[in-house]
Chain A
Amino acid sequence: MKTILKSKVWASIVMLLIAAIGFAQQAPQLNDAEIAHVAVVANQIDIDYAKIAMDRSKNPEVREFAQTMIADHNAIIEQAVALVTKLGVEPQDNAVSQSLLKQAEATTKMLKAAKGAAFDKAYVDNEVAYHQAVIDAVKGVLIPQSQNAELKALLKVALPILETHLGHAKMAQSKISK
């Protein structure tokens, strides 16, 4: 029963992510201020997940991964903030950012309800799904739609970082599920 419930939860999360990407792809053109907002929100969401992991997990690998997520996503946010400050642009709230935050609220609830090994699995599974969704959004929406060359370049710098995180999360996932 528990397994069926878990599967249902994961199916709904995956559907939400797919819907979000689909929504983002069908959404009206995002301007650079909105793209900058999405970049900051998406990175902050992963920092917040990592902070929950640092509070709850005792698994050294999960904790090391979470520490890296905090350091790296903060570094990306710093670059994004430095760029918008330089360009004199105020990041602008938008439907994609709101959609990401809405999903994050549901995921946070799910993570906070899990304990011990179940938490580690839920956190790492979510990291795999979340990074994959963000990579797809950066590749398919944010990079093609950004107009400013420096913003586009920053998104291209962020991409291999996200891809490395995905590889790291998948490695942790394969160890946890053994």
Chain B
Amino acid sequence: MSLFYKSATLFSCFLVVLLGIFLVSTGFKPETPNTEAPVTHVVTIHQMKFDPEKLVVKKGDVVQWVNKDIVPHDVTEINKKWTSKILEKDAKYKKVITENLNYFCSLHVIMKGSVTVKNH
């Protein structure tokens, strides 16, 4: 191998190392597909509250609301884009979460909750 090729190879290695240091220092993380199975999070409706009121999930996770009160409730998007319809005692409602969500109970308008999508 000629000196030229040796130098070029060494220089290429140097460049790769430099690029690596740059990417690591700028917080770059290689895009890897999310292969984790979606998690189901449970929000219990109990004593006229959503518990937990604020929930953080990954995109694609499922939230399941379970009514444990003796009175009916619902889960309604804050701008009324969709609703679970009325959930009697022990009734459940599931939703796949793809974006941040603010919701309330349209029967008891002071009951509110939120789901935030966060990439872990």
Contacts and interface: CB of A to CB of B under 8 A. Distances in A.
Q: Which among A67, A167, A171 has the greatest number of chain B C-beta atoms within 10 A? A: A167
Contacts of A161: 48, 69-71
A168 B108 contact: yes
A75 interface: yes
Given A160-B47, A163-B48, A164-B48, A79 B110 contact: no
Question: What's the dominant secondary structure at chain A's contact region?
Answer: helix
Contacts, number: 38
A168 B71 contact: no
Contacts of B106: 64
Contacts of B107: 64, 67-68, 71
Contacts of A62: none
A171 B48 contact: no
B37 interface: no
B108 A75 contact: no
A84 B47 CA distance: 22
Given A160-B48, A163-B48, A164-B48, A79 B70 contact: yes
Contacts of A72: 71-72
A10 to B, nearest CB: 24
Nearest to B89: A75
